[in-house]
Structures are given as structure tokens and as C-alpha cells.
Amino acid sequence: MTTPLEAMFAKTRKENRAALIAYLPAGFPSQQGCQNAIAVLAQAGVDAVEIGYPYSDPVMDGPTIQQAADISLKGGTGAKEVFSTLEFAHDLGLPVVVMTYWNPIERYGIDRFAREMANNGGSGVITPDLTIEESGQWKISTNKAGINTIFVVAPSTSDDRLARVTSQCSGFVYAASLMGVTGARTDLSTSGHDLVERIRKTTDLPVAVGLGVSTRAQARTVAGYADGVIVGSAFIKALLEAKNEASGLEAMGVLARELVAGVREGR
């Protein structure tokens, strides 16, 4: 069975272009606000959405995403809200994945979480703090539910480990192009390109690059060598810095259209 995510990457590969994947935490800037934002992103032409499961002690998220997660948690976002956001994005026709730390999955119930992902139209889950050595039960549950398991690799990942991690991925491989936490950056490191080249020696899966992209030019650069460009902090910043939700959504839509154009100019 092919997930919507896999079908999307097959389509963009056929079109000889990268995909733009937009990240937003569930429940940010509010539950309704998040749905409004996803609708704006869909209208702007993003290819897929990554829904963040807000977490109180993130290891990978920079200050922008942390601030958004705090707002979301204060608004009472939990598993129910994550799954309803997932369903909303899926109903708009977007392939959708969830990014979550392991603790919420374990707390919810591993089998149950995988099942609810599938029931609400989710294609897969990105688990940044789950090692492949500890993922046995998760792999069984996700295989049963028919969803993708997406693991994160970084420039510091050794060649030997890279091959072992990518062999456990499905859907795509998440390449964190910079050491450190997430956040929009003015300059992009060359480590992303080098990492993607190393990943390609180990797998035929699509490779999506996250961490740092915030402009059309940066999106164009990353789209030149990756199969997917993941943007989160720049979208969140547009909402955080706006004087109200309406102007935030407008700014986010403008940015999304710029990034969509940049990704399509990459090759």
C-alpha cells in the first residue's frame, strides 16, 4: 500500500522537482488558527504538511518553534488536537506527517498511536529522538497501520550508522542539514549538500532537508540537490511577528508562495 506521502514524492520526482514541506505545531497560534494556516499553505501550493506534536522539553527545536509549542500547550493541545489537525490537512488533499518526540507516543500507546495516525489520514511519523535500536515495537505497529517511519540523520552521523538508519526509514529520510537546533538562518551551510550525497549512497528513498531555509533563494539552492525542502521556523515567525492572526496568515501566504516558486526553480 502506497501512502499519500510516497505518491507525492513519486509525482515530484516525475516532474523533476523537489517538494516543499511546511511545518507547523498543532494548536498554533490556536486550534482554529492552525487550521486556517494549513488552508493558506495548501492554497499557496505547498506539497505536504508536517504537524508538530508540541512538547514541553524539546531537544531539537530552536527558540521560534519552542515559543510556538509553548503557546500551543497553554491552549491545551494534546493527542486529540494533533489528530484532528492531521485529519483537517488530509481532507484538504495534503499528504501529512507528524513530528513528535517518543514520550507522547509511548504515553498514548504505541499501537494505538500508529492506528490513529492511519485513521486520520496520516502518512507517517518523524521521530527525532527514537534510535533505530529502540524502534522494534514501533516498526511492528507502523507496518501494521501502513504508515511511514521517518528517522533523522545529521552531518555527524557516521557512514556505517547512516546506512543502518536509512535502511529503517520509509517515506523519506529526514536530513538535518546543520548541527544544532532548528531555526531560520540567513546563510545555508554546505553540510546539507554533503549529507544528502552521503545518504544517496545508502538508499533510493527521497531525501528531505530541514533546518534553516527561510527565503526563495535558499529554497532554490536546497531544491537543487534534495527531494524535499522542509520549512518551519520561517512560517512560525510570520505568525508570531504579526500584529494579528489575519495579517500573520497573509504574511505566511506570501512567504509560502515565494518558497513554492523557489523550490520549483531548483532544477
Rounded Cα gap, residues 172 and 149, in angstroms? 8
Distance CA 57, CA 248 (A): 26
DSSP 3-state assignment of 14? helix
50 is catalytic: yes
User: Which of the residues 6, 47, 61, 227 is marked catalytic?
Assistant: 61
Closest listed residue to residue 126, CA positions, set 182, 211, 51, 70? 51
- The three-class DSSP label of residue 19 is strand
Side-chain half-sphere of 16: how many Cα atoms within 13 Å? 2
- Look up 61 and say whether it is catalytic: yes
Beta strands 207-210 and 228-231: pairing type?
parallel
Which is the catalytic residue, given 50, 81, 116, 227?
50
Name the nearest CA neighbour of 122 among 50, 173, 47, 205: 50
What distance lies between CA 196 and its chain's CA centroid?
A: 17
Q: Does a cis peptide bond (omega within 30 degrees of 0) precede residue 4? A: no
The CA distance from 98 to 77, in Å, is 14
Known catalytic residues are 50, 61
